[in-house]
Structure 1
């Protein structure tokens, strides 16, 4: 079963008076098998964040089909998805617990009586339990990133989508995030996270989706990718050469 299926996604941003249109996504297609971890990798500006925003309908694609759990995105499927954007905005006047409560209340059909247990569980996982009653404006950049991850895992989602989850974290913070993702893997969650660093993928992923300049260059197993290309830079060059020959 495919937890997420993306088919022929296209997005163009119109240029200004003296600017050309920007074709940001071109026939982007991939799928996420249930229970597996897929890395979405590409250089900065490759189209990763735009793809994720289109998946969630934050911006409207020009064309393409997107299905979660076999159906288009709806209120029921949203409750099964955890999401962390690339640059999360957290309301700085709220405490850690209040921020999670706000997110919980926005999720349709969740029982109020379960909130405190789930919130404490999430905050302990990201090592923010002791700071739960502090206002977010007193958090460091790394603490804010971890608070965002706590929000993403709060509802124990079946699908977890993280856009650059290691961004802004020190080595200890990165290790903590990887430990959290390993725990989610053991729980059977389908993981999809983006990064421009192949090293992040090697430790966590069984599959890769490689994007460059809005086009999917590779989708498949990580071991096959590594045995053929060894590095992301080499992969981009080889795959672009192949693409040029097919034009």
Structure 2
């Protein structure tokens, strides 16, 4: 079963007075297998973040369909999905615990059932339990990224979608985020994360989606991909060249 299906999404942004319209997503289609980690890789500006925003309807696509667990997004599906945007907005006047409570309320209303257990569990996973009562304005860049991940895993989601989760982190921070993702893998969560760093894909993923200039160049098993091209760097270069030839 596919936990997420994207069918022929198109998105065009209108240009300004002297600018042309930009067709940024072109019949984007792919499916993510249940219980696996899928990487969404492409250069900066390839269309990764726009695709993810269209998946959640933060940006309305011009056409296409998105299915979560075989159905359109509804309130039940939302409680089964964890999400971390590329540039999350964090309320700096809240403490770490208050920030998690805000996201819990968005999912479940004012009910406190299981909240403290889940919040403590998430904070310990991201190594922020001792900082739970500090204001977010006092957190470092790495701590802010980790509290963002804590809210994404707070409800023990079945599907976790992360947009550039390791962007801007130092080596220690990147290693910690990778360890968190591996722990979610062991729990059986379906993971989908975007990155422009091919090394992240090789380390963590079993499934791969490659995008460039708003077009899907590959959607399938990572090992099959590697067997044909030997390295992701070589494969990405070949796929981009093939795309350029098709486009003339």
Fold agreement, TM-score > 0.5: yes
Q: Relative to structure 1, is the Cα distance of residues 53 and 168 closer, same or farther in structure 2, using a 3 angstrom cutoff?
A: same
* 1:53 paired residue number: 53
Report whether the alignment pairs 1:86 with 2:86.
yes
* 2:183 paired residue number: 183
* 2:68 paired residue number: 68
Q: Distance in 1 between matches of 2:97 and 2:19?
A: 46
* 1:99 paired residue number: 99
The 8 Å contact of residues 198 and 233 in structure 2, kept in 1 or not, is answered as: no
* 2:214 paired residue number: 214
Report whether the alignment pairs 1:129 with 2:133.
no
Match of 2:51, SS state, is: helix
The 8 Å contact of residues 207 and 221 in structure 1, kept in 2 or not, is answered as: yes
Report whether the alignment pairs 1:195 with 2:192.
no
* 2:163 paired residue number: 163
* 2:115 paired residue number: 115
Match of 2:188, SS state, is: coil
Q: Distance in 2 between matches of 1:169 and 1:243?
A: 32
The 8 Å contact of residues 145 and 168 in structure 1, kept in 2 or not, is answered as: no
Q: Distance in 2 between matches of 1:100 and 1:116?
A: 10
* 1:43 paired residue number: 43
Count of residue pairs the alignment pairs up:
247
* 2:18 paired residue number: 18
Shift of 1:112: 1.3
Shift of 1:75: 0.7
Q: Distance in 1 between matches of 2:65 and 2:221?
A: 23
What is the RMSD computed on CA atoms of the aligned residues? Answer: 1.4
Shift of 1:230: 3.7
Q: Relative to structure 1, is the Cα distance of residues 110 and 197 closer, same or farther in structure 2, using a 3 angstrom cutoff?
A: farther
Deviation digits for residues 70-91 of structure 1 (CA, Å, limit 9, x no counterpart): 1100111000000000001100
Q: Distance in 1 between matches of 2:108 and 2:95?
A: 22
Return the TM-score normalized by structure 1.
Answer: 0.96
Shift of 1:57: 0.4
Shift of 1:14: 0.3
Unmatched tracts of structure 1, length 5 or more: none
Match of 2:113, SS state, is: helix
